[in-house]
Chain A
Amino acid sequence: MREITYAEALNEALRIEMSRNERVIVLGEDVGVFGGIFGVTKGLLEEFGPDRVVSTPISEDGFTGAALGLSLAGYKPVVEIMYMDFILLALNQIINHAAKVRFISGGKLEAPMVIRVMMNYGPRYTGPQHTQDFAAFLAHIPGLKVVAPATPYDAKGLLESAIRYERDPVIFLEHSVLYRTRGPVPEEEYFIPIGTSDVKVNGEDVTIVGYSYATWLAMSAAKRLKEEGISAEVLDLRTLYPLDRKAIITSVEKTGRLVVVAGDVRSYGVGAEIVSTVAEEALHSLKVPPVRIAVPDLPVPFSPPLVDHVVPTEDTIVSAVKNIVKNI
């Protein structure tokens, strides 16, 4: 199968959905002639014209609210939020409005919109306002679905599902490091069901749970661990809400050990939800206490050596796993 990048896979999904449904509208900062800061919307303006590919001013709440209005009137907007840090400016429209439409209307209205957001956690050196991962609190909001693919294949299939089939607002989390990674992607359309995780690496000794870039780190760590005789299973959540709890339980029941890798701050983060799920439903399968790898309760600094000290890395995963798999 041909290999393309994560950014190209997303671009292909947008192109397919825009070609078959003229009510799909792409909007956000610099999505037009510039093609988005990582090229995800490249060429769409030329192909679909200025009515359907709209570069907006820097008004996150305004254009996200306008996208909600489009969705209420029968359109399928795909909004781009440039950095995840900027989504804070749009949360009034996302949480107070889009996520509540179905409920407030007693089930008569819906807001089928997709909000694409670039996460930038990891070795990015962009300072405290361009590196935050808010996936956990978005997944905390009833009414939202939160998707976070790790591979080009998943990126295309999940974005197609979100645009074609979802009738609720979907927060679609992408990652700056992943945009240039390559992988096999079919040319034709295909759909990955939202709410399903995927075992990226099979293993016996430990379950490493991740999403987006954290999955990618976990996969590299698993490769190294294998060389040292440790068999790690990598469970890629792919969707943070609805969460595939069953798959987490199944894997932990098999391995008896759990390490969660997340790009967010540790307290009240994604790791807390995964560990709680296991504690509630598979506590006695655990041979050792679970481990959360995340950013300590700090803003992420700019200085590169300091960044490498606080964000999850392949090394931190490898040593955490070795620490709890001592006795095999």
Chain B
Amino acid sequence: MCAQQYQAEFLLKMYELMLKSRIFEEKIAELYRKGELVGLLHLYIGQEAVAVGVITALRNGDVVLSTHRGHGHAIAKGVPLKNLMAELYGKSTGTSKGLAGSMHLVDVEHGLPLSSSIVGGGIPICVGMAWAYKLSKSNNVATCFFGDGAVATGDFHESLNLAALLDVPAVFVCENNQYALSLPVSRGVSSPSIADLARAYGIKSFTANGMDVINVYEIANAAINNYARKEQKPVFIEAKTYRFLGHHLGDLMQPYRAKEEVDAMKKLDPISNLRDLLIREYGVTESALDDLRAKIVKEVEDAVEFARNSPYLDPRELPKYVYSKQGGGAQLA
């Protein structure tokens, strides 16, 4: 990790966001195993540095389009844990009233307009939002996260080509966690470097160490604020990272990778490494960090209580969320 050029508060803030994501998801795993949560839950554990490093470099009004593996992005964007948890419980107090669930997180107020569970599906939408920001001269950027699996989709290639042709401030963040479910990236992407693919489209491209939040932040800050926003051009970041758990919580055996590989990668845990750095080089005390953990644990427990005690949406309300009341021409008659 880096020399001492940051304020401890700045690093602590990133540490807190990563830890919040970790503790939130550890709780989800526990609730899922107890049968209290259902559905497909794709955990982000191990990859937290990517969401936090990139999103810390964003500004007010910049949006994030996420994926089926979206809890970490939502938490880094500031989505309240209680509404996030309530969404996972399918309750009406959830971010989308329980209509969307874990794989489709949306919180417009916190700059998360859409998460797509269709691999690659958010990428063209990100190009369109960036296009709108360019046309309206808002000086915002649109950011999309996607995995190495998305690199094989048509939407990925169509979008990079379009973004380069239109010259729009879209920030493409590939979280290369080495596996598309079971398919290793070496068998899913023909190019040895994903970042190079973006270069072939004429897009400025960076590679970041996705296990190191400071490195991700520095690359993202350069890519987003010193380039995409300033030059009004697309930019690409390949963050090399690793998911510590299975593809989703039902993927227990993971026959596609060796336990030794997973154990070795867990030593690169971005959260414990930053904790060590804060203690070693920034004089942060262990007890302060323990207090921070306790505060987050409490917030997560409160979120669970809030979700448990919330009502479900009245099923008679469902049709209200399909079409606008406007339109149809009735108001024109």
Contact = CB atoms under 8 A, between A and B. Distances in A.
Interface of A: 25, 51, 54, 56-57, 59, 61-75, 77, 92-93, 96-97, 100-110, 142-143, 145, 161, 165-168, 191-196, 242
B106 A109 contact: yes
B322 A143 contact: yes
A166 B113 CA distance: 20
Nearest to A193: B329
B110 to A, nearest CB: 11
Nearest to A103: B321
Given A59-B161, A69-B129, A106 B327 contact: no
Nearest to B118: A96
Interface residues of B, number: 49
Interface string B250-279: 000000000000000000000000000000
Contacts of A191: 329, 332
A57 to B, nearest CB: 6
B329 A104 contact: no
A67 B124 CA distance: 9
B217 interface: no
B96 A69 contact: no
Given A92-B121, A194-B329, A66 B95 contact: no
Contacts of B133: 73
B226 to A, nearest CB: 24
A165 B328 CA distance: 8
B7 to A, nearest CB: 34
B183 interface: no
Nearest to A158: B329
A62 B124 contact: yes
Contact of B129 (A70, A145, A194): A70
A101 B162 CA distance: 22
B4 interface: no
B99 A103 contact: yes
A195 B326 CA distance: 12
B196 interface: no
A143 to B, nearest CB: 6
Contact of B132 (A57, A69, A194): A69
B3 interface: no
B198 to A, nearest CB: 15
B129 A72 contact: yes
B129 A106 contact: no
A165 B125 contact: no
Interface string B140-165: 00100000000000110011011001
B243 interface: no
A165 B326 contact: yes
Interface string B310-333: 000000000011111011111111
B104 interface: yes
Contacts of A73: 128-129, 132-133, 136, 142
Contacts, number: 175
A191 B327 CA distance: 11
A96 B121 contact: yes
A193 B158 contact: no
A165 B121 contact: no
B329 A109 contact: no
Given A59-B158, A191-B332, A104 B104 contact: yes
Interface in B31-67: none
24 contacts: A56-B162, A57-B158, A57-B161, A62-B154, A65-B159, A69-B125, A73-B132, A73-B133, A75-B132, A75-B135, A93-B155, A97-B125, A102-B323, A104-B96, A104-B99, A104-B100, A104-B114, A106-B94, A108-B108, A145-B323, A165-B332, A166-B328, A193-B329, A193-B333
Contacts of A145: 323, 327-328
Given A61-B158, A103-B321, A165-B329, A108 B106 contact: yes
A66 B123 CA distance: 9
B330 A193 contact: yes
B197 to A, nearest CB: 15
Contacts of B330: 193, 195
Contacts of A193: 328-330, 332-333
Given A74-B136, A143-B323, A242 B128 contact: no
A82 to B, nearest CB: 16
B116 interface: yes
A145 B330 CA distance: 14
A242 B330 CA distance: 12
B121 A62 contact: no
A168 B324 contact: yes
Interface in B149-203: 154-155, 158-159, 161-162, 165-166
Nearest to B170: A69
A68 B121 contact: no
